[in-house]
C-alpha cells in the first residue's frame, strides 16, 4: 500500500486538451521560428542560412571550382538541417535563380530550372558555389566573433545563430513562407535604394517614414514589370501589409500587311513558374469563348535574352482595347500580397519599412562593435609582442647569454619574466645583475624564445618598428570607433556605400499610378441559339437554324437541349444542393457533330462527384416557382427570383446530413407530386401542400421513409398528359395513384 501511495504521489493529472494545446503551440512556434519565417537580421530562413554556412565551411568560394550539389545537400543535412534533402536542395536552387531573387546568392552550374516553371535537374547532376557578394557581404568576418554560435541538432557541431549580413537582405531578396496560422510575403527591392534608406536612417534615426520613400521607391522585382498603385505604397510600407498591383510590360508592334501584335516583354513577378503557360492558356480560352475575337495566334518566343510572348492580331483589331482585356481577364495584371512578417528577438512580428531598417541598423552596429572589439584585442596582443621584441633587440646580447647559460627553455623563460638567475651561467656578474631586472610578459617571453636570428638584421628591426607603428595606428582607430558613435556610423555608411557601388544595379520595375483598365466590350446583339449538353457533361451552343434542320438527331445525342437567348444564363442544379450559372456567351459555339467543352471548365464545380440534376435557362427559372426533392424525402417550393444573383454559384437548398437532391423542376403548370422509394413505396399528394420557402431552408417531409429507404424518383404531374414509369418490370401510372396527405408512409404496389 505504501508503494502504491508513492506511485500515486508521482502521477501528474492534467486535462488531455491542455496537453494537446500546449504541444500544438510548441509545434507551431517551432515551425514559425525554426523553419518557415526569416530572421529580420539576416533575412534568411534557417535552411538558407545553414546551406550558405555549409558552403562556406566546405570552401566553395566564388573563385574556386564548383562542388556537386549533392555533396552540399548531404553535408548540410548531416551537420545542420535534419529535415530531408528535398527542402535543402529546393532552397539551394531558389538562391541560384535570378528570376526569383533580387540578388542571387548561389552560383549554380547546370540546369537550375527556368522562369517558365521547369524544375531543376537532380542534385547529382548540378554543381554550385558561393557568389562573390555572398562570400564578401553575407559570410565575411565569421572568424571575428561577430555573431553567436549555437550547438547543432546533435550538439556535435556549432552553427551561427545568424549570418553577419552587412546589407538588409530581408528587403533585398524578400521572402515568402507559410507557417502555422501565419504567412510572410515580402517583395524584393533594389540594393542601391535600400542602402540609401539605411544610410539616411543612420544619419537621422528620427527620419519620418514618408521621407524614407524618397529613397525606397517601391519593390524591384527581378522580372521587371510595372507596379501601378504607387499612391498606396506609403500605407503598405507603414503598416507592413497590403496589396501591390503588378502588370507585365507590353509593346504594340506593326508587322507585314498592316497587322499589329502585342508583345509581352516582362511578366509580373507572380507569373514566375507555370504562370506563363497558364497565361497563354487563358488567352487562348478568351479567343475560343469569343471574348476576344481578333486574336489570330499566340506564341512564346522567350529565350535567354528575355521574355517575348507574341499575340498576333487580325487586321483592323483594336490593340489597345485587347491589351486592356488581357490586363483585366488574365494574370498579365495581378496582385502581390505584402505581409512583412519576420522573426525578431525570437518572436514573429509584422514590421513597417522603418522598423525593419531600425532592426537591421541595430544588428549592423552590434556586428561592427563585436568585430572591432575582436580586432582591438588581437592588435593589443600584437602590440604587446612587438614591444617585447623591440625591447629584446636592445638587449639581445644579454638574452643570448641567458639562453646559452640556461639548462632548459623554462629556466630561460622564468629569467625573462621574473628575473630569476639561479642556476643560469653568466659570463660576468654585471650580466647576471642586468638579467635579474628583466620583466617581460609571458607572451613577450614566448615570442622572444620563438624569434629567429634573422630578425636581428637591421632592415628586419626597422620593419618591426614600422609594423609596430601601424599596429598603434590601428589600435587608435579601433578605440576611436568603439568610443565614438558618430565615427562608427560613418564607418558603417562608408562600408554600405562601397557595397552599393560594387554590387548595385539599375532598377528593373517601374513604379507609377495607373487607372483601372476600361474594357470596351462589344454589345452582343440578342439572338436565339440552342444550348446542348450530352450525357457526359460536354456543352456547346448550336445555331438555331442548324438545330431545326437536324432536330431529331440533335435531341437523340444530347441529354439537355433547348432554345435560349445568347444574352441569357444557364442554371445548373447539382445533387449537392447548389445552383451554378454560366453565361451563354461563355459557352463556345460548335457544329452539331463537334465535341463541346466540359461544363466543369465553365463553372465552380467543387469536385468531380458533384452530379448534375437539372439544367434550365435562368430566364425560365426567374419567372416561376422551382420545386426541389431530395433522397431523404424532403420537398419544397422556392420563388425562382431568389436564385438570380451576380455570384456564379449559390445554395439552392439546405441539405441534411447524408442527403442529396434527386429532382428539380418548374412547378407552375403542375398540381400534384409523385415520389417513389427504393423499397417500392410511393405517394402522390397535392402540390398546394408544399409550402414556399427560402432557398436556405431544408424543406418539409414529402414521404415518411422506413429505416434504410430513400426516394429514388420524383415527378411533378399535371398538364403533360398521362405517362408511365417502369418499376419491377411492371408499368406504373403515377397519374392514377390516389391522392393522399403529404408526409404519409405511402403505398406499396
Distance, in Å, from the CA atom of 575 to the CA atom of 664, rounded to the nearest integer, reads 10
* Distance of alpha carbon 351 from alpha carbon 340, whole angstroms: 6
Does the pLDDT value for residue 205 go beyond 60? yes
Output the pLDDT for position 167.
96
* Nearby residues of 297 by Cβ (< 8 Å), 6 or more positions away: 311, 312
| Higher pLDDT, residue 519 or 247 | 247
| The pLDDT of residue 409 is above 90 | no
Three-state DSSP state, 312: strand
CA distance 56 to 75: 12
pLDDT at 183: 86
How crowded is residue 273: how many other Cβ atoms within 10 Å of its Cβ? 17
Q: How crowded is residue 564: how many other Cβ atoms within 10 Å of its Cβ?
A: 21
What pLDDT sits at residue 158?
A: 93
Residue 500: strand pairing partners = none
- pLDDT for 95-119, tens place per residue? 999 999 989 999 999 999 999 888 9
Of the candidates 441, 421, 426, the residue with the CA atom closest to the CA atom of residue 412: 421
pLDDT surpassing 70 at residue 28 = no
Res 461: pLDDT: 77
Alpha helix (H) residue ranges in 617-700: 618-622
CA distance 483 to 489: 11
State the alpha helices, DSSP H only, in 453-609: 458-483, 485-503, 544-549, 551-557
Q: Are 464 and 390 in contact (CB under 8 A)?
A: yes
d(CA 218, CA 338): 12
Q: pLDDT at position 721, please?
A: 61
- Of 262, 259, 264, the C-alpha closest to 314 is 259
Kindly indicate the confidence band of residue 24, based on its pLDDT and cuts at 50, 70 and 90.
low
CA neighbor of 445 nearest in space, from 418, 465, 475, 471 = 418
pTM of the predicted structure, to 2 decimals: 0.74
In angstroms, the CA 319 to CA 253 distance is 10
Report how far residue 327's alpha carbon sits from residue 283's, in angstroms, rounded to the nearest whole number: 11
pLDDT at 490: 95
Residues near 348 by Cβ (< 8 Å), separated by ≥ 6?
Answer: 32, 33, 37, 179, 182, 341, 342
Mean pLDDT, residues 259-266 taken together: 94
C-alpha 126/C-alpha 109 separation (Å) is 6
Instruction: Give the whole-angstrom CA distance, residue 606 versus residue 615.
Output: 18
Least confident of 13-27, 312-326, 524-538, 705-719: 13-27
Residue 596 confidence (pLDDT): 86
Question: Cα 517 from chain centroid?
Answer: 27
pLDDT tens column, 721-741: 667 777 766 777 888 888 899
Collect all residues with Cβ–Cβ distance below 8 Å to 156 and sequence separation of at least 6: none
Complete domains list, the chain, with CATH:
20-186 (3.90.199.10), 249-331 (3.30.1360.40), 368-502 (1.10.268.10), 623-749 (2.120.10.90)
Contacts of 496 by beta carbon, 8 Å cutoff, 6+ apart: 166, 167, 195, 198, 199
What is the 3-class SS of 363-377, one letter each residue?
HHHHHHHHHHHHHHH
Q: Tell me, what's the pLDDT at 664?
A: 94
For residue 226, pLDDT over 90 is answered with yes
What pLDDT shows up at residue 521?
56
pLDDT tens digits, one per residue of 508-525: 999 999 877 666 555 667
| pLDDT at residue 163 greater than cutoff 60 | yes
Instruction: State CA 502 to chain mean position distance.
Output: 30
Task: Give pLDDT tens digits for 446-468.
Answer: 888 888 766 666 657 788 888 89
Q: Is the model's pLDDT at 67 over the cut of 80? A: yes
Query: Dihedral angle at the C-alpha atoms of 130, 131, 134, 140, nearest 10 degrees?
Result: 70
- Looking at mean pLDDT, say which of 27-36, 156-165, 597-606 comes out highest: 156-165
Q: In what order do the strands lie in the sheet with 249-254?
A: 249-254, 260-266, 309-313, 295-300
> Running DSSP on this structure, what letter comes out for residue 747?
E
Task: Report, as an integer, the average pLDDT of 689-716.
Answer: 91
Whether residue 52 contacts residue 192, with contact meaning beta carbons closer than 8 Å, is answered with: no
Q: What mean pLDDT comes out for the span 72-86?
A: 93
Cα–chain center distance at 176: 4
Q: Do residues 480 and 488 touch, judged by C-beta distance below 8 A? A: no
Indicate if the pLDDT at residue 4 is higher than 70: no
Query: 165 CB contacts (<8 Å, ≥6 apart)?
Result: 41, 42, 43, 44, 137, 138
Q: Please tell me the total number of residues recorded for the chain in this structure.
A: 749
Which H or E run includes 310? strand 309-313
pLDDT of residue 506: 94
Helix and strand numbers, DSSP H then E, in the chain:
22, 35
Local confidence band at 268 (pLDDT 50, 70, 90 cut-offs): very high
Using only C-alpha atoms, the chain has a radius of gyration, in whole angstroms, of 40
Cβ-based neighbours of 150, under 8 Å, separated by 6 or more: 158, 159, 160, 161
Q: Give the 3-state secondary structure of residue 611.
A: coil
The answer, yes or no, to whether residue 613 has pLDDT greater than 70, is: yes
What's the pLDDT band for 7 if we cut at 50, 70, 90? low
Distance CA 219, CA 235 (A): 14
Distances (CA, A) of 44 to 21, 37, 379: 29, 8, 33
Strands 510-511 and 226-227: parallel
Mean pLDDT of 121-145: 95
Lookup result for grid cell 624564445: 449
pLDDT at residue 125 greater than cutoff 80: yes
Collapsing DSSP to helix, strand or coil, 43 comes out as coil
pLDDT at 586: 83
What's the whole-number mean pLDDT along residues 45-53?
A: 94
Catalytic residues: 125
- Provide the percentage of residues in the chain whose pLDDT is more than 70: 93
Q: What is the mean pLDDT of residues 420-424?
A: 84
Amino acid at each position: 500500500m505504501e508503494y502504491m501511495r508513492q506511485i500515486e504521489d508521482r502521477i501528474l493529472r492534467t486535462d488531455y486538451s491542455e496537453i494537446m494545446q500546449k504541444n500544438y503551440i510548441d509545434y507551431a512556434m517551432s515551425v514559425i521560428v525554426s523553419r518557415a519565417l526569416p530572421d529580420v537580421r539576416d533575412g534568411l530562413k534557417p535552411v538558407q542560412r545553414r546551406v550558405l554556412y555549409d558552403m562556406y565551411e566546405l570552401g566553395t568560394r566564388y573563385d574556386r571550382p564548383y562542388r556537386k550539389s549533392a555533396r552540399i545537400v548531404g553535408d548540410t543535412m548531416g551537420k545542420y538541417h535534419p529535415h530531408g534533402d528535398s527542402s535543402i536542395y529546393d532552397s539551394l536552387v531558389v538562391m541560384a535563380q535570378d528570376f526569383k531573387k533580387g540578388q542571387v546568392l548561389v552560383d549554380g552550374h547546370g540546369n537550375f530550372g527556368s522562369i517558365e516553371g521547369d524544375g531543376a535537374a537532380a542534385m547529382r547532376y548540378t554543381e554550385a558555389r558561393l557568389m562573390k557578394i555572398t562570400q564578401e557581404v553575407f559570410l565575411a568576418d565569421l572568424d571575428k566573433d561577430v555573431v553567436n554560435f549555437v550547438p547543432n541538432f546533435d550538439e556535435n557541431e556549432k552553427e551561427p545563430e545568424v549570418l553577419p549580413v552587412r546589407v538588409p537582405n530581408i528587403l533585398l531578396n524578400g521572402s515568402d513562407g507559410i507557417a502555422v496560422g501565419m504567412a510572410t510575403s515580402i517583395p524584393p527591392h533594389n540594393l542601391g535604394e535600400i542602402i540609401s534608406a539605411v544610410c539616411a536612417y543612420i544619419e537621422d534615426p528620427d527620419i519620418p517614414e514618408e521621407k524614407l520613400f524618397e529613397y525606397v521607391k517601391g519593390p524591384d522585382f527581378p522580372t521587371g514589370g510595372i507596379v501601378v498603385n504607387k499612391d498606396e505604397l506609403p500605407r503598405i510600407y507603414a503598416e507592413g501589409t497590403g496589396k501591390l498591383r503588378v502588370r507585365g510590360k507590353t509593346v504594340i508592334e506593326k508587322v507585314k500587311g498592316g497587322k499589329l501584335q502585342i508583345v509581352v516583354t516582362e511578366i509580373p513577378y507572380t507569373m514566375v513558374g507555370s504562370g506563363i503557360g497558364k497565361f497563354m492558356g487563358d488567352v487562348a480560352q478568351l479567343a475560343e469563348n469569343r471574348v476576344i475575337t481578333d486574336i489570330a495566334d499566340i506564341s512564346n518566343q522567350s529565350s535567354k535574352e528575355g521574355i517575348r510572348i507574341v499575340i498576333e492580331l487580325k487586321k483592323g483589331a483594336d490593340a489597345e482595347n485587347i491589351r486592356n482585356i488581357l490586363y483585366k481577364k488574365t494574370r498579365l495584371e495581378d496582385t502581390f500580397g505584402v505581409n512583412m512578417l519576420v522573426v525578431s528577438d525570437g518572436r514573429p512580428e509584422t514590421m513597417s519599412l522603418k522598423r525593419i531598417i531600425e532592426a537591421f541598423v541595430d544588428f549592423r552596429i552590434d556586428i561592427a562593435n563585436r568585430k572591432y572589439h575582436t580586432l582591438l584585442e588581437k592588435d593589443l596582443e600584437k602590440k604587446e609582442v612587438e614591444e617585447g621584441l623591440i625591447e629584446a633587440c636592445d638587449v639581445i646580447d644579454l638574452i643570448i647569454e641567458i639562453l646559452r647559460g640556461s639548462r632548459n627553455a623554462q629556466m630561460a623563460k622564468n629569467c625573462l619574466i621574473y628575473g630569476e638567475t639561479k642556476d643560469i651561467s653568466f659570463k660576468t656578474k654585471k650580466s647576471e645583475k642586468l638579467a635579474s631586472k628583466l620583466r617581460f610578459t609571458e607572451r613577450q617571453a614566448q615570442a622572444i624564445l620563438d624569434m629567429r636570428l634573422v630578425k636581428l638584421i637591421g632592415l628586419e628591426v626597422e620593419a618591426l618598428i614600422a609594423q609596430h607603428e601601424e599596429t598603434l595606428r590601428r589600435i587608435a582607430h579601433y578605440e576611436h570607433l568603439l568610443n565614438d558613435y558618430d565615427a562608427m556610423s560613418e564607418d558603417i555608411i562608408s562600408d554600405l556605400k562601397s557595397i552599393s557601388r560594387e554590387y548595385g544595379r539599375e532598377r528593373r520595375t517601374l513604379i507609377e499610378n495607373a487607372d483601372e483598365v476600361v474594357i470596351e466590350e462589344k454589345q452582343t446583339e440578342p439572338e436565339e441559339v440552342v444550348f446542348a449538353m450530352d450525357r457526359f457533361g460536354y456543352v456547346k451552343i448550336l445555331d438555331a437554324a442548324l438545330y431545326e434542320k437536324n432536330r431529331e438527331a440533335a435531341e437523340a445525342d444530347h441529354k439537355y437541349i433547348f432554345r435560349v437567348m445568347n444574352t441569357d444564363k444557364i442554371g445548373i442544379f447539382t445533387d449537392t444542393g447548389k445552383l451554378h450559372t454560366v453565361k451563354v456567351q461563355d459557352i463556345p459555339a460548335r457544329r452539331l457533330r463537334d465535341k463541346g467543352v466540359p461544363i466543369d471548365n465553365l463553372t465552380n464545380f467543387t469536385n468531380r462527384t458533384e452530379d448534375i440534376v437539372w439544367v434550365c435557362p435562368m430566364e425560365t427559372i426567374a419567372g416561376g416557382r422551382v420545386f426541389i426533392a431530395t433522397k431523404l424525402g424532403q420537398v419544397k417550393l422556392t420563388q425562382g427570383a431568389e436564385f438570380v444573383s451576380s455570384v456564379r454559384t449559390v445554395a439552392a437548398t439546405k441539405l441534411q446530413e447524408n442527403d442529396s437532391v434527386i429532382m428539380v423542376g418548374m412547378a407552375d403548370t403542375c398540381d400534384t407530386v409523385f415520389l417513389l422509394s427504393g423499397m417500392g413505396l410511393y405517394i402522390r399528394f397535392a402540390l398546394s401542400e408544399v409550402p414556399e420557402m427560402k432557398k436556405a431552408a431544408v424543406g418539409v417531409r414529402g414521404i415518411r421513409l422506413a429505416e434504410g429507404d430513400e426516394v429514388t424518383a420524383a415527378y411533378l404531374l399535371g398538364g403533360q398528359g398521362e405517362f408511365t414509369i417502369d418499376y419491377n418490370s411492371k408499368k406504373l401510372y403515377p397519374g392514377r395513384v390516389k391522392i393522399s396527405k403529404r408526409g404519409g408512409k405511402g403505398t406499396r404496389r
